[in-house]
C-alpha cells in the first residue's frame, strides 16, 4: 500500500517520504522507517508510533511514553487513521501528515518497506527551463511555410512590407493634419468661438505605470509656449510627483480589547520580611469586586503562612501603585479536605482574598453560557504580572503581560458533568504567575491558573502545558444566593486573633 509522509515541523521539516508497506514505524530510534533524532528534535524523545494496515483499514498504535495526537485528538493506545490526517508526535511536535497514494508502487517502482527517492528539485527546474523539442516532420508546403510556428515572430514578405509601409505613411499624414487643425498638445482647442482647455486626464507611462499629470497652475512645455519665447527649465516644467507607497498595516491583535478590559483589575501580591525590611514580589490576583481578589488556593495558603510568621502582605495595583493590605484569606473547602490527594486537590485550587479599602477596577466572571462553550481547541488567553522572584530594588519594574493559546484537554471530577473542571492549556505562560486569570475573547474570567504540567518522562523536555481551574460561580460559591460560608474556609496556618 503506497503511503506518503510529509514532515511539517522539526529538524526534518519539508521532507517527503514515500513507502510501499503495510507497516511503518515512526519515532526516536534509528532503525525506524521515519526517524526523529532526539538530539535535534527534543520533543520526539521517548516517543514512537506504528502505522499498520489492518483488515478494517490503517491504524496508528502509540508505543511511546506520552500521548500522540491525530488532528489534535489524543491517542493513548490506538486509533483509526485516514488519508490526510495530521499527526503530532508530542504536544510540542514534530508534526507530519499521512496520505495514501493509489498506484504509487507501480509508477515509482518501490520495493515493499522502502522510501521512494524524490527527483532533485534543481533537476526538475532545469528540465522546466528547456524549450520543448519540435517533432520531426516532412518539409512543409510553400503555403505552410508562410505561417510561423507558435511563439515565433511573424516575418513579412517584400510585398507585404510595402503595403504596410504605405498604410503607415497615410496614417502619419492624417495625424499631422489633425495636429495642425486642432493644435499641438497643451494648446486650447477652438469649439465655435470658445476656447476649451485641453483634457487634464493624466497620461500613464506604460513602462512604469506613473502619471505625468501636472499640479494645478503648472504649465507643460507646449508648441504655443515655444512660440511665445517662454524659457522655462525642464525641471520646472515637468516637476515629478513624489511616489507614495502605503506601508503595510499590522494585523490587529484579536485579544487586544479583551486584555485591555482586564488589565486594570490585576494586582501583584507582595510580602515584606520584618527582619530585613526587604520586599518580595509573590503572585498575581484579579479583583472581582471592590473588596475581593480572586487567586489560587496555593497562593492564598502561602500568603497566610507569611502573615502567621509576622510578614506584612498586601496587593498593589501597577497603574497607580496603590497598596491594599490583606484583611482576610479564604480557600475552597475542597482544597483543605484533599491535602493528601494532590491529583484531586488541584480541582479546588482557588481562593478569595479580602482587602482593606476599595479596589477601583474589577473584572467580570464568565457566565454559565460562556463556560458551557469550553471545549478542546477553545481560544483562551492568560493575563498576569510575571517577576523573577528576587527582592524588589529600585532598578526593577513590573508590567502586566498576556499570552494567547487554546484549551488542550478538559478533565473533571465526578459527577461528570457537574463536577469541578480542570483545563489543560497549551499557552506560553511564564514563571511566578500562579493565581492569575485566564480569559475568554470577551475579556471575562473563565479560569484561575494553578500550575504548569509536570513532565511525564524522566529527562524529557517539559511540556508547554498548564493547569487552570474553571471558575464556575455556582459551584464555587461565587454566585448570588450560594452558601459561600460552607464553601470558603480559612487556610492551614491561619492567624489567630492573638497574633
Please report which confidence band the pLDDT of residue 182 belongs to, taking 50, 70 and 90 as the band edges: low
Q: How big is the CA angle at 275 (ends 272 and 279), to the nearest 5 degrees?
A: 25
Between 108 and 327, whose confidence is greater? Answer: 327
Q: Which of 128-132, 343-347, 368-372 has the lowest mean pLDDT?
A: 128-132
93-105 mean pLDDT? 78
236-258 mean pLDDT? 64
Q: Which of 422, 454, 450 is nearest to 436 (CA)?
A: 450
Rounded distance between C-alpha atoms, residue 164 and residue 196, angstroms: 36
Q: Which of 398, 356, 167, 377 is nearest to 268 (CA)?
A: 398
Please report which confidence band the pLDDT of residue 479 belongs to, taking 50, 70 and 90 as the band edges: low
Q: Which of 238-242, 278-282, 376-380 has the lowest mean pLDDT?
A: 238-242
Q: What pLDDT was estimated at residue 67?
A: 84
User: Burial of 264 by CB count in 10 Å (0-12 exposed, 13-18 middle, 19+ buried)?
Assistant: middle
Instruction: State the chain's mean pLDDT as an integer.
Output: 76
Rounded distance between C-alpha atoms, residue 263 and residue 245, angstroms: 36
Contact by Cβ (8 Å): 222, 187: yes
Q: Which of 243-252, 388-397, 461-470 has the lowest mean pLDDT?
A: 243-252
Q: What pLDDT was estimated at residue 145?
A: 39
pLDDT at 227 over 80: no
What strands lie across the sheet with 73-75, from one edge to the other?
16-20, 2-7, 95-100, 85-88, 68-70, 73-75
pLDDT at 325 over 60: yes
Q: What pLDDT was estimated at residue 98?
A: 93
pLDDT digits (tens, 9 = 90+) for 106-161: 334 444 444 433 334 333 334 444 444 433 434 444 344 334 344 444 344 444 44
Rounded distance between C-alpha atoms, residue 165 and residue 80, angstroms: 75
Rounded distance between C-alpha atoms, residue 430 and residue 224, angstroms: 75
User: Burial of 471 by CB count in 10 Å (0-12 exposed, 13-18 middle, 19+ buried)?
Assistant: buried
pTM (2 d.p.)? 0.53
Please report which confidence band the pLDDT of residue 315 belongs to, taking 50, 70 and 90 as the band edges: very high
Contact by Cβ (8 Å): 219, 239: no
Rounded distance between C-alpha atoms, residue 240 and residue 238, angstroms: 6
Between 283 and 483, whose confidence is greater? Answer: 283
Strand segments (E) across 89-166: 95-100
Contact by Cβ (8 Å): 415, 441: no
Between 157 and 260, whose confidence is greater? Answer: 260
Q: What pLDDT was estimated at residue 102?
A: 65
Please report which confidence band the pLDDT of residue 286 belongs to, taking 50, 70 and 90 as the band edges: very high
Residue 419: all three cell numbers together: 463536577
Phi, psi of 271 (to 5 degrees): -130, 150
Amino acid at each position: 500500500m503506497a503511503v506518503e509522509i510529509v514532515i511539517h515541523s522539526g529538524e526534518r521539516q519539508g521532507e517527503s517520504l514515500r513507502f510501499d508497506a503495510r507497516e511503518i514505524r515512526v519515532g526516536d530510534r534509528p532503525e525506524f522507517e521515519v526517524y526523529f533524532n532526539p538530539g535535534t528534535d527534543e520533543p520526539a524523545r521517548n516517543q514512537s508510533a506504528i502505522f499498520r494496515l489492518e483488515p478494517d483499514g490503517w491504524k496508528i498504535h502509540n508505543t511511546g511514553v506520552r500521548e500522540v495526537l491525530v488532528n489534535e485528538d489524543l491517542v493513548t493506545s490506538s486509533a483509526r487513521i485516514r488519508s490526510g490526517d495530521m499527526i503530532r508526535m508530542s504536544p510540542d511536535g514534530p508534526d507530519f501528515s499521512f496520505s495514501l497514494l493509489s498506484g504509487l508502487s507501480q509508477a515509482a517502482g518501490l520495493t515493499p518497506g522502502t522510501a521512494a527517492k524524490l527527483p532533485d528539485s534543481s533537476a526538475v527546474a532545469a528540465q522546466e527551463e528547456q524549450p520543448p523539442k519540435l517533432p520531426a516532420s516532412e518539409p512543409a508546403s510553400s503555403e505552410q511555410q508562410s505561417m510561423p510556428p507558435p511563439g515565433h515572430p511573424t516575418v513579412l514578405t517584400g510585398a507585404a512590407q510595402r503595403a504596410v509601409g504605405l498604410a503607415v505613411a497615410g496614417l502619419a499624414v492624417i495625424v499631422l493634419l489633425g495636429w495642425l487643425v486642432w493644435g499641438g498638445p497643451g494648446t486650447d482647442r477652438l469649439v465655435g468661438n470658445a476656447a476649451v482647455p485641453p483634457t487634464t486626464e493624466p497620461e500613464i507611462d506604460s513602462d512604469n505605470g506613473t502619471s505625468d499629470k501636472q499640479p494645478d497652475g503648472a504649465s507643460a512645455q507646449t508648441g504655443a509656449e515655444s512660440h511665445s519665447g517662454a524659457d522655462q527649465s525642464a525641471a520646472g516644467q515637468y516637476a515629478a510627483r513624489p511616489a507614495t507607497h502605503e506601508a503595510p498595516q499590522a494585523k490587529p491583535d484579536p485579544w487586544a480589547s479583551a486584555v485591555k478590559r482586564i488589565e486594570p483589575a490585576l494586582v501583584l501580591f507582595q510580602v515584606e520580611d520584618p527582619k530585613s525590611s526587604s520586599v518580595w514580589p509573590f503572585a498575581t490576583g484579579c479583583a472581582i469586586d471592590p473588596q475581593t481578589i480572586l487567586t489560587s488556593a496555593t497562593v492564598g495558603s502561602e500568603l497566610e503562612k507569611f502573615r502567621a510568621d509576622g510578614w506584612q502582605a498586601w496587593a498593589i495595583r501597577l497603574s497607580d501603585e496603590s497598596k491594599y493590605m490583606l484583611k482576610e484569606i479564604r480557600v475552597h473547602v475542597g482544597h483543605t479536605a484533599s491535602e493528601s490527594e494532590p491529583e484531586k486537590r488541584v480541582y479546588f485550587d482557588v481562593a478569595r482574598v479580602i482587602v482593606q479599602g476599595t479596589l477601583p477596577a474589577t473584572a467580570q466572571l464568565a457566565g454559565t453560557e460562556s463556560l458551557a462553550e469550553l471545549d478542546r481547541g477553545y481560544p483562551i488567553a492568560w493575563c498576569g504580572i510575571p517577576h523573577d522572584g528576587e527582592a524588589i530594588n529600585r532598578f526593577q519594574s513590573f508590567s502586566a503581560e498576556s499570552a494567547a493559546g487554546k484549551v488542550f484537554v478538559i478533565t473533571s471530577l465526578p459527577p461528570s458533568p457537574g463536577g469541578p473542571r480542570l483545563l489543560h492549556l497549551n499557552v506560553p505562560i511564564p514563571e511566578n504567575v500562579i493565581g492569575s486569570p485566564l480569559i475568554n475573547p470577551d475579556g471575562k474570567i473563565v479560569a484561575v491558573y494553578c500550575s504548569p504540567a509536570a513532565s511525564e518522562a524522566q529527562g524529557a523536555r517539559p511540556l508547554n502545558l498548564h493547569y487552570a481551574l474553571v471558575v464556575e460561580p455556582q459551584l464555587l460559591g461565587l454566585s448570588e444566593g450560594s452558601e459561600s460560608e460552607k464553601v470558603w474556609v480559612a487556610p492551614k496556618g491561619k492567624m489567630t486573633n492573638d497574633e
